[in-house]
Homo-oligomer: A and B are copies of this chain.
């Protein structure tokens, strides 16, 4: 009998960018479905986490609309206890076979739990990194080429650049 195969991929997606896009395209070649965990879901309006989970769900969904990747986008709140984090992930998601991550802590935690972890190839991380894209947003330095058009639209609609700039200001 045929069984659906699924991979789990987690990130904060602040914002969703072409680096994520490239990894998902790779994973889609090997698995039927991808579960996309949206980490630190409870965070927003912070310099490192400007967007809400809902906004990030919308970005991912729209960005993947015209690509043919069957996926689940699932907000995951932090549980702040590493020893139970894997159980927390498992409880919030459909069953998966493999985890894709380059994050050392994620690799260690799933590894200790006996779950297979694969490291996706890094795709131009000097350009496609959340930190760098947020810095470009603040400086008005061509961030729009780093993310899918659908993400540009959403960020503009919510005034995301203005939000990010404001919350990065220091009260004198």
Residue in chain B with minimal CB distance to A58? B94
Chain B hits for A136, CB < 8 A: none
Residue in chain B with minimal CB distance to A33? B61
Per-position 1/0 for A146-172, Cβ under 8 A of B: 000000000000000001001111111
> At the interface, yes or no: A45 with Cβ under 8 Å from chain B?
yes
Interface residue ranges of A61-106 to B (CB < 8 Å): 61, 72-75, 77, 79-84, 86-88, 90-95, 102-105
Residues of chain A whose beta carbon lies under 8 Å from any beta carbon of chain B: 41-46, 52-55, 57-58, 61, 72-75, 77, 79-84, 86-88, 90-95, 102-105, 107-109, 112, 122, 125, 163, 166-172
4 nearest A-B pairs in the assembled complex, by CB-CB distance: A83-B91, A45-B82, A104-B169, A84-B84
| 18 more A-B residue pairs beyond the given contacts A44-B81, A52-B90, A105-B167, with a C-beta to C-beta distance below 8 A | A45-B83, A54-B90, A54-B93, A57-B74, A57-B92, A57-B93, A57-B94, A58-B94, A61-B72, A75-B92, A83-B87, A86-B87, A102-B172, A103-B171, A104-B166, A104-B170, A108-B166, A112-B163
